[in-house]
Amino acid sequence: MDDFVCTLKAGAVTRVRFTDMKGLSEHLSSISSALFVADENSSYAIPENLSDRCLVLSSGEEHKNYDSLFKIIRKALGLKLSRSSRFVGVGGGVVSDMTAFASSVYMRGAKLTIVPSTLLSMVDASLGGKSAIDFDGVKNLVGTFYPADDVIIVPALLKTLPEGEFLSGLGEVIKHAFLTKDKSLYHFLLENKDGIMARDEETLGKMVELSLKVKKEYIEKDPEEKLGIRSALNLGHTFAHALESITNYEVKHGIAVAWGLEMALAMGVEMAVTPADLKESADGLLSLYGYDTSLRIEKDKVPIFRSYKEKDKKRDSSGVQFITLSGWGRYVKVVPDDNLIAKLVAKV
């Protein structure tokens, strides 16, 4: 596992480093002026001597809202933090996103450290600077771009992660494997299933490193998604976000992304954009790790699915843009018609 940096807007740099639990404890304890934000599942990772500076939020996507955001800001005010103080988010994607959002608006910007405690947050929320809360049932509708200057990856935190949460994160990793012409991550996943599923720390650390370096390539080319390059990372997400919404988030994000990856590539094949053998490679990898991509939606719920799709942030004047692939690491934006979407997602 090698530390690395990701260069973002205006020369901002995110340092990504790997450590163990002892190293994490020592580092957190060394920060003099900070607010530590966690949830009920991740607070154990914050040393007890920092409890007076720690805010523990309720866990779950349903708490990714203004109420939680204001709790973070009020706690920071109570601690008399300044712009030079640091917000430290220790937790999954919900904690990471909300801590980053609070940090970005507190006195117009405080320092930010992210310590992702789930696989999903390690390979998704930790890097890239997206911060957000959900609003009116729409995921990540309100937010900012505010990259952490420090991201600390602790593979040992994944040891106690519930199986569903682990597979959720793995869905994003598998997505990344197809977003690069370099097939190192794809082959690593094929060849190291036993070590990955056994939660071997060294194996997981290497997998996270390979996955983040794929994301890093896109982020550095398009830090704030203004050039359209970074939108490639949304592969599978338009399908996934609609599925999450229609199921009231009962389907975990990364599980939905794995399903969305299958849908996006099936869509690409139907539109004569995606090579069939590329889809077969994805099908094989998803099957290897036990993902069920056979899920389909009741026909009477397809209009509701479409309505959530229409709220997706990737809409422009031509319609909702979906990402698919024309080859390994070659993304394409398409606007499929509603009949094709219904054909793909509805039960026969």
Total-model pTM:
0.91
* 68 and 129 housed in the same domain: yes
d(CA 132, CA 98): 6
Domain boundary among 141, 160, 179: 160
Instruction: Please calculate the CA angle 334-257-331 and round it to the nearest 5 degrees.
Output: 35
pLDDT in tens, 112-143: 999 999 999 999 889 988 899 998 877 788 99
Is 34 within a domain? yes
What residues does 130 pair with on adjacent strands? 145
* 223 and 116 housed in the same domain: no
Count of Cβ atoms closer than 10 Å to residue 100 Cβ? 27
d(CA 303, CA 338): 9
pLDDT in tens, 58-106: 998 899 999 999 999 999 999 999 999 999 999 999 999 999 999 999 9
What percent of the chain lies above the pLDDT cut of 70? 97
| Helix/strand/coil for 223 | coil
CA dihedral 192, 197, 201, 207 (to 10 degrees): 50
Range of the domain at 294: 189-345
Question: Which of 124-128, 137-141, 175-179, 265-269 has the weakest average pLDDT?
Answer: 137-141
Is 40 within a domain? yes
Which CATH number does the domain housing residue 261 bear? 1.20.1090.10
* 337 and 194 housed in the same domain: yes
pLDDT: is 53 or 347 the higher one? 53
Residue 87: predicted pLDDT: 98
* 156 and 8 housed in the same domain: yes
Question: Which of 20-29, 277-286, 316-325 has the weakest average pLDDT?
Answer: 316-325
Is 228 within a domain? yes
* 152 and 206 housed in the same domain: no
d(CA 238, CA 302): 14
* 224 and 80 housed in the same domain: no
* 8 and 156 housed in the same domain: yes
Is 94 within a domain? yes
* 112 and 198 housed in the same domain: no
* 118 and 215 housed in the same domain: no
Is 182 within a domain? no
* 211 and 85 housed in the same domain: no
Q: Give the chain's domain count.
A: 2
Is 279 within a domain? yes
Is 168 within a domain? no
Largest CA distance in the chain: 60
Instruction: Please calculate the CA angle 31-35-40 and round it to the nearest 5 degrees.
Output: 115
Average pLDDT (12-25) is 95
Domain boundary among 139, 160, 181: 160
Question: Which of 33-37, 197-201, 217-221 has the weakest average pLDDT?
Answer: 217-221
Is 135 within a domain? yes
What percent of the chain lies above the pLDDT cut of 90? 79
Average pLDDT (22-39) is 97
* 85 and 194 housed in the same domain: no
Q: Residue 312 above 80 pLDDT? A: no
- Mean pLDDT rounded to a whole number for the chain: 93
> Per-residue confidence at 315, pLDDT binned at 50, 70, 90?
low
Residue 199: predicted pLDDT: 97
* 195 and 279 housed in the same domain: yes
Q: In b/e form, how buried is each residue of 211-223, taking b as 16+ CB within 10 angstroms?
A: bbbbbbbbbeeeb
Q: Residue 237 above 70 pLDDT? A: yes
